Chain A
C-alpha cells in the first residue's frame, strides 16, 4: 500500500548538510498497522512527512496505493493539483492535533470535505457520522479548547477519515497523551483498521504503541531502517533489538555451571506445557529465571529464560526437544549475553518457519 524506495532527505542549512533519512526502503502492506519506532532525531518524523510529500524527499520514490507521489510533485515549492488530490486520499493525524480553534468540532471535521468541494448537507452528514464513529457525537458543537487531549485526538482522527482515505498516517498521535488515553486512542486506531480496512502507518517513540497495535514494525536509527518486519518475524530474529525491547526477559543465572536459554513461544506452542514435559522426559531440573506472556499485534507470545544444569554440550538433547516443539531457543552466553554464530544459523532457519506460522 505504501512503498518507499531509496528515500533520502537531506536538509541544507548554512552550508551544512544533515541527512535526516538515508535510503529508506519501506513496504507497508494493505490493511496492516505498521509502526516506525526510533528515538528523537532518528528521522521518523521526516519519513512520515515524506510519505505525503509535506516534506519533499531529496531522492527516492514514494508510492501510495499504486500511485507514485514523487512523480506528481511538480516543480517548485508549491504542490501540484494532482498531488493535492492524492493528499486528500491520505489521512493524517498529528501529535499536537492541529485543530482549528476558530471552528467547532463538527466544522473541523468538515474542513477536508470543504476542500473536496462537497455540499453542505453532505458535509454535515459525513461529519456527524464520523464523530459518532469516534465516540464524540455529543461534542459536535463544542470548540476544540473545550475538549481534553484524548477527545481532541479523536476529532483529529475523525477529520483524517473525512475524505475516505485508504491510508492513515499518524505522526506521534499519542505522544502528547497520558497512558490511559493513549490506550483508548490506539484501540480506536486498531478498530478503524479492522472495520474500515484502513492501512495505518504510525511513527512513535513508545515501544508500548508498537506492542499494542502494530502488525509490523521498523526500527529507525540515524536515518536508516535497521530492522523491519512483522512483529512475529522480529521476535523470531535472534539479537533483534526490537524484539528485545518489545519483549524483555531478564534474570541472572544462578551459577557459572548452568546453560541459560531464552525461549520464545508463538501461537499454539504458548498453550502447551512444554517445560513440565521437558523436566519429566529428560529428568532435568529446570530453573525459570524470568518469563513473560503477552499479546503482541493480536497474537499471544511468550518469552522465558531458563537455566539447565551442566554445560551446553550436555543439554543438546533437551534443547533439541524444545525446538521440536516449535519453540525458538537461543543460548544466552553468560559472559557476552550474545548468541554464538552456529546457534544463530540454526535459529535463523527456524525463525523463517516461525514467522510464517505467526503471520498466518
Chain B
C-alpha cells in the first residue's frame, strides 16, 4: 500500500477517532464531575454525609469500571439503539464510550477533590458559605490542576476504548489497524497507525500536563499529580492501539 492510498484512509480515521473521543470526553466530564464530587460529599464525614447514597454510587461506579469495555459496549447495544437509532457507526460508539468513561472519570475526580485541604472547606464554612458555595468556590477550583490531569488520563483511555469501538464498525484509527493491519496483513499501514496514535496521545498528554502545570505554578503546591508521571513512563504501551487490554491497565 502506498502513502497516497493510506493518506485518505488515515485522515478519515483520525477524524473519526477525534470525533468519538471528543464527544465522549465532553459527556464523561459533564457526568463524571458531579458524580465524583458527590462521592466525596456523601462519604463519611462529608458535607452531605449519606452512607447509603455513597455506597450505591460507589457500587455503580465500581461495576461500570470493572466491566471490560468491549463487553460493556455489547451489553449496552439496545440502550445505544434507543438513543441513536443504530448500533453501528461513530455516533453509536459515543454512547458506550461516554458511559464507560463517566465512572472512570468520576473516580479520578473523587481522588482529586479528596486532596483539597479540609481547612479551606472549614474557612468557607466559617464565612457562612453553604455546600454549593464550597463545591463551586473551593473544591472544584482548588482541585482544577488535578482535574485537568484526570481529564487527560480519561482522553487517553478513551482513545484506547475507541479502538475497540472500531470492531463494531465505528471507524477510527483502531478500526484501520485491525481491518488493514491485522486482517489484510498491511503491516506498513498498521505501523503508521500506531505512529499516528502515539503522536496524538503524546500531544494530548503534553497539552494536559502543560495546562495542569500552568495552574499549579500559580498555586505553587506540589508538582503535577504523580498519576500522570506514571502514565508517561508507560506511554509505549498506550500507543499500541491493538493491545486494548494494555491500554485499560495503563489508563
Contacts and interface: CB of A to CB of B under 8 A. Distances in A.
Interface stretch (B53-61, B121-129, B168-176): B121-129
Interface in B18-67: 47-49
Interface residues of A, number: 32
A143 B218 contact: yes
A163 interface: yes
B126 A52 contact: yes
B219 A102 contact: yes
Given A78-B47, A94-B119, A102-B215, A88 B142 contact: no
A88 B137 CA distance: 16
A326 interface: no
Interface stretch (A109-117, A127-135, A189-197, A243-251): A109-117
A276 interface: no
A311 interface: no
B192 interface: no
B119 A88 contact: no
Given A92-B123, A145-B220, A102 B128 contact: no
A102 to B, nearest CB: 4
Given A102-B219, A143-B218, A54 B125 contact: yes
Nearest to B123: A98
A84 B128 contact: yes
Interface in A157-185: 159, 163, 169
B205 to A, nearest CB: 23
Contacts of B123: 92, 94, 98-99
Interface in A266-292: none
B228 interface: no
B246 to A, nearest CB: 35
Interface in B96-155: 117, 119-120, 122-131, 133, 137-138, 141-142, 144
A90 interface: yes
A143 B219 contact: yes
Which residue of A90, A101, A144, A169 has the most chain B CB atoms within 10 A of its CB atom?
A: A101
A143 B220 CA distance: 9
Nearest to B125: A54
B116 to A, nearest CB: 10
B221 interface: yes
Given A98-B120, A143-B219, A87 B49 contact: no
B137 A100 contact: yes
Interface string A86-127: 111010101010111111000000011011100000000000
B131 A78 contact: yes
A5 to B, nearest CB: 22
Contacts of A116: 128
Contacts of B120: 98-100
A159 B122 CA distance: 14
A116 B129 CA distance: 9
Interface in A189-233: none
Contacts of B137: 100, 111, 114
A115 B131 CA distance: 11
A348 interface: no
Contacts of A94: 119, 122-123
A98 B122 contact: yes
A152 to B, nearest CB: 12
Contacts of A159: 127
A113 to B, nearest CB: 9
Nearest to A77: B49
Nearest to B121: A98
Contacts of B122: 54, 94, 98
Contacts of A99: 120, 123
A102 B141 contact: yes
A85 interface: yes
Contacts of A96: 117, 119
Interface of A: 52, 54, 77-79, 84-88, 90, 92, 94, 96, 98-103, 111-112, 114-116, 143-146, 159, 163, 169
5 contacts: A54-B125, A84-B128, A84-B130, A101-B220, A163-B127
**3 smallest A-B Cβ distances: which pairs?**
A145-B220, A88-B128, A101-B219
